[in-house]
Each structure stands twice: as structure tokens, then as C-alpha cells.
Amino acid sequence: MGILAGADTRLLVQGLTGREGTFHSEQMLAYGTQLVAGVTPGKGGTEHLGVPVYDTVAQAAASTGATASCIFVPAPYAGQAICEAADAGLELIVCITEGIPVADMLKAVAYVQARGSRLIGPNCPGLLTAGQTKIGIIPGHIAAPGRVGVISRSGTLTYEVVAGLTAAGLGLTTCAGIGGDPVLGSRFADLLPLFEADAETAAVVMIGEIGGTDEEDAAAVIAEMSTPVVGFISGRSAPEGKRMGHAGAIVSGGQGTAQSKIAALEAVGVPVPETIGEIIALVAARV
């Protein structure tokens, strides 16, 4: 079953006709995603990849019944694109774009929350419910349906874990790549309860990284969960004060350290291995 998106999700892509939008929309269509519309201002009334294109999200949603959006809009305009999707009443908004100004995201996140939509991202690989739908850039061929949920701040490590679950025969319910920026639409603590409520998810892998307090906040939620969680924290050897990869992956003033996150997770019974290769065996012992 999975969380947030499934076979019945009707998707539109903002930025469908651009290079990135075109490439990844082809992959989504090939996976079986119901991609019903594209939005590119000035190109309304045309078709791209066999999909009708509209000038606005409101027009696309009204004409096609779209319930979700995937955004491949350049960074200077992506914040506005998120707000436009929320204005159109879309339930789910997945923003792949990286490099969006923090000030723009502060406004966009508040706007989305006020309108009751769910935002995943930005600067994320998106969402995939195995065998049903793919929204974003997660490679579809590495995911097979199964019983494990994955939620991650890291793109590349997400792919490693999903491929490992598939190879081990454990498979996936939903993989949610939430992104690693300082300002995000959804965090671990927001999505973990959805996995807990999903009857088909028997265990969850949570891939965190240094910086911020997301993992510590998640520990408080995990303490109330019955679904077992296996954790991982990347960036253990990162020097204090130096950004490592993601804008949110910075340790400063003793906060956001790998040690503090590992301690918080282990305190609520979450095993946190030192290497990514140990995750699959820990999950297999819990499903």
C-alpha cells in the first residue's frame, strides 16, 4: 500500500517541457505513473510526451483531476511554483529543484501548510511506492514491492538501501526522499507516523545525516511507534563548521553531531550501524 502516493495518484509535472522535466517524466511514465498533465507557462494547448500541457496548475488540475505535482522548475521560480500548486488544491507536492533560496522556502512551506497540502522536498529525489507510482528521480528498476519503508535525507544512500532491500528479497512499500536543505516541507517526524499507520510496512529504514535536530526530533516519535526502525547517520567524520554536501548538513556549536543523533536513536531502541552495508541484515531480523 505505502504512503502518500499510489496507483491512483494523478500527477502533473511543473516544468514538463524542460530538459530535466522531460527526461524524468519519461522515466515516470515508463514506471506506470499516471502522468496526466504538464504545466509550462506560454505552452498551454500543446502536447509533450503525449501529455497535455497547460499554462497554469489551476487549469491543469481542473481539466485532468490531477491530485499531485512534481516540480522541475528552476530555483529562482520554484518557490512560486510550490505556492501555485498549493493554491490549486493539490494534495501532494514533490519539489525536486535544488538551490532554492532559504527565504523563498520559508514562505513556501508556510503557504503550503496553511492550505493543507503535503510538500516533499525541495532538493530531494522524491517519492516511490514500489510497483505503483514514481514521483521524482528515484530509479524505478532498483525497487521491488515488499514490506519495508525508507525515509531519507540523502539521495545516493537511499538508492543503495533500496537496491539492497530488493536484492535481499525484502522489497519496499514507499521510499520518501525528503531532502537535505535547512527548510523542508516534510521531516522525519512528519512522515514516520504515516509508515506506522500503513499495515503493509513491517519496518522502516531512516537515513539521516549530520546537521539540524531532525533525527533527535524523530526519536521522540519513534518512541511511540510499534513498527521497528533501523537508523543510519552519514557524516560521522565531518569536521565541525564545514558544510558537507547538503546545505543542512553542518555541525555548529556542538549541535547536529552524529554522536548526538546516534545517542538519541539508540535511547529509543533504534540500532544505528556504522556502515550502510549492515542495514539490510538488521532489517531482515525485524520483519
Could you give the residue numbers annotated as active site? 246
Please tell me the distance from the alpha carbon of residue 227 to that of residue 221, in angstroms, as a whole number: 11
Residues facing residue 207 across a β-bridge: 152, 232
Q: What is the dihedral of CA 51, 53, 58, 64, to 10 degrees?
A: -30
Q: Which of left, alpha, beta for 227 (phi over 0: left; psi -120 to 50: alpha)? A: beta
Distance from C-alpha of 251 to C-alpha of 149, rounded to nearest angstrom: 28
Query: Which of 63, 49, 70 is CA-nearest to residue 127?
Result: 70
User: Cell numbers of 7, please?
Assistant: 496507483
Closest CA to 179 of 191, 165, 197: 191
User: Residue 276 has what DSSP assignment?
Assistant: G
Question: Which residue from 132, 126, 123 is spatially nearest to 92, judged by alpha carbons?
Answer: 126
CA 105, CA 131: separation in Å to the nearest integer? 32
CA 211/CA 241 separation, integer angstroms:
10
Strands 172-177 and 145-152: parallel
Phi, psi angle pair for 223, to nearest 5°: -60, -25
Residue 68's nearest CA partner among 135, 139, 151, 150 is 135
Find, among 223, 207, 211, the residue nearest to 267 by Cα: 223
